[in-house]
Amino acid sequence: MTAEKAYGMIRALGAIFGDALTAAGHDKPAATTLIAGIAAYNKLNLQGEDAELDKAYNICMTDMLEAVRGSWKASRNVAQ
């Protein structure tokens, strides 16, 4: 699976989640559709429901965690 497809799947889940909240009378999440998709995946306990969605989630989370790790390491080097 490409990163582009993975991010698209998680963003689509986030959009569906936001629309469902609106339909239920709640405010849409203020977060991006990517973050809303990650939240939906976790809050709805979707792990194991769809192998492709699991792959997409893992790709997005790995990318995000690596980006955070890199930023954190860079900030430590600047602080020293």
- pLDDT tens by residue, the chain, 80 residues: 999 999 999 999 999 999 999 999 998 888 899 999 999 999 999 999 999 999 999 999 999 999 888 888 888 776 55
- Are 37 and 56 in contact by the 8 Å Cβ rule? The answer is no
What is the model's pTM? 0.83
Alpha-carbon separation of residue 13 from 5, 6, 8, 72, 74 (angstroms):
12, 11, 9, 28, 32
Six token digits for residue 15: 């959009």
- Are 37 and 13 in contact by the 8 Å Cβ rule? The answer is yes
The one-character DSSP state at 46 is -
Q: Spell out the domain ranges in the chain.
A: 3-79
How would you class 61 by CB atoms within 10 Å of its CB: exposed for 0-12, middle for 13-18, buried for 19 or more? Answer: middle
